Amino acid sequence: MEAPSAPAHRGLSLWKELLLAVSLLSFWSPPTTARLTVESINAAEGEDVLLLAHSLPENLVSYSWYRGERVDSKHQIASYIITLGRILPGPAHSGRETIYSNGALLFQKVTLNDTGYYTVHTVRKDLQTEEATGQLRVYISLLTFWSPPSTARLTVASVNAAEGKGALLLVLNLPENPAGYSWFRGESVDSSRGIGAFLIEPTQKFTPGPAHSGRETIYPNGSLLFQKVALNDTGHYTIVVTKKDFLTEKATGQLTVYRK
Ligand SMILES: *[C@@H]1O[C@H](CO)[C@@H](O)[C@H](O)[C@H]1NC(C)=O
Ligand SMILES: *[C@@H]1O[C@H](CO)[C@@H](O)[C@H](O)[C@H]1NC(C)=O
Ligand SMILES: *[C@@H]1O[C@H](CO)[C@@H](O)[C@H](O)[C@H]1NC(C)=O
């Protein structure tokens, strides 16, 4: 308890309480009330890159991506009208960008001149807007001197999803001519935790594994779709891509499910 004759001390303890309250608040506030941000990213020329928007507000009507640090319709890449489920490309769309329902923007095969700032602009049902800018830096890969850019590293883009919603674990930089894919729960290739395998040739065929919950689908491009994610789906997921020459490549990404 505070001694009444110690005002300086009391001030200090109030300050401590305030700090504690602030840190508790920032700890407890759900991710949706955090400020919208765009994660800056470095990538080698020729890679596929995902620009992620974090802490998207709730009750969104639409979001749009722009080249540059400002919202300027001349530099609009694409908009996603959530209420209609429609994507509208803008004047700055190069044909290589895809916008996803979680707000992410996928660039396929980035070039050096994709380097720059990108801004996402969100509109809520109550017409409140928010925007955030991130930076994409594309560098010359030394690899491009002796191997084609298609050898960019296989990557699984990590994703956040609200409980009960769908989630897509995107596979970027697939090798050419894959023969099939298999997906595993966890960071290692453990057949008892196999979700399923997708064979491309001779005919496209999906075979579920022991860890298939009935909610996972593997697409012909390797991406893994979850329907109605649960909190306990949070974790790492690993893909193994088998190529026609029977060599394999593997990559791991993370799914984080948050409470709605
Ligand atoms: C970026 O470079 C590509 C070729 O590498 C070219 O086709 C495109 O027009 C360039 N874009 C801009 C905005 O300069
Ligand atoms: C893979 O296919 C799914 C379903 O058609 C699509 O939503 C996704 O964008 C594709 N992934 C890539 C990296 O193109
Ligand atoms: C995960 O949670 C769901 C309910 O949200 C439950 O039905 C399921 O059995 C759980 N799975 C595991 C592996 O614990």
**Any alpha helices (H) in 121-230, and if so which ranges?**
143-146
Mean pLDDT for 63-75 is 95
- For the chain, domain boundaries: 37-139, 155-258
Among protein residues, the one with the nearest Cα to ligand 3's atom 11 is: 232
**How far does residue 230's CA lie from ligand 3's centre (Å)?**
7
- Largest distance between two CA atoms of the chain: 86
Mean pLDDT for 84-110 is 90
Pocket residue to mutate for ligand 1, from 75, 93, 113, 140, most atoms within 8 A of Cβ: 113
The architecture CATH gives domain 155-258: Sandwich (2.60)
Mean pLDDT for 15-37 is 53
Query: What pLDDT, on a 0 to 100 scale, did the predictor assign at position 78?
Result: 95
Of 162, 156, 158, 118, which is closest to residue 137 (Cα–Cα)?
118
Pocket residue to mutate for ligand 2, from 100, 150, 219, most atoms within 8 A of Cβ: 219
Query: What pLDDT, on a 0 to 100 scale, did the predictor assign at position 13?
Result: 54
Among protein residues, the one with the nearest Cα to ligand 1's atom 13 is: 113
Q: How far apart are CA 117 and CA 46, in angstroms?
A: 18
* Out of 1-5, 131-135, 169-173, 199-203, least confident range: 1-5
User: Which band of pLDDT confidence, cut at 50, 70 and 90, is reported for residue 260?
Assistant: confident
Condensed to tens digits (0 to 9), the pLDDT of residues 216-246 reads 999 999 999 999 999 999 999 999 998 888 7
Mean pLDDT for 169-181 is 91
Query: What pLDDT, on a 0 to 100 scale, did the predictor assign at position 26?
Result: 41
Condensed to tens digits (0 to 9), the pLDDT of residues 98-132 reads 998 888 999 999 999 999 999 999 998 888 899 99
**How far does residue 59's CA lie from ligand 3's centre (Å)?**
27
* Out of 19-23, 87-91, 172-176, 190-194, least confident range: 19-23
Cβ neighbours of residue 80 under 8 Å, at least 6 residues apart? 62, 63, 64, 86, 87, 88, 99, 100, 101, 103
Query: What pLDDT, on a 0 to 100 scale, did the predictor assign at position 127?
Result: 85
Query: What pLDDT, on a 0 to 100 scale, did the predictor assign at position 11?
Result: 53
Q: Which fold has domain 37-139?
A: Immunoglobulin-like (2.60.40)
Indicate if the pLDDT at residue 1 is higher than 50. no
Q: Record the pTM.
A: 0.64
Residue 220: DSSP 8-state: T
Query: What pLDDT, on a 0 to 100 scale, did the predictor assign at position 126?
Result: 87
Query: What pLDDT, on a 0 to 100 scale, did the predictor assign at position 143?
Result: 59
Pocket residue to mutate for ligand 2, from 80, 101, 170, most atoms within 8 A of Cβ: 170
Ligand 2 atom nearest to CA at 172: 13
More confident residue, 82 or 30: 82
Among protein residues, the one with the nearest Cα to ligand 2's atom 1 is: 221
**Cα distances (Å, whole numbers) of residue 186 to 66, 155, 196, 235:** 36, 15, 13, 7
Q: Which ligand has the shortest distance to the CA of 87? A: 2
More confident residue, 146 or 192: 192
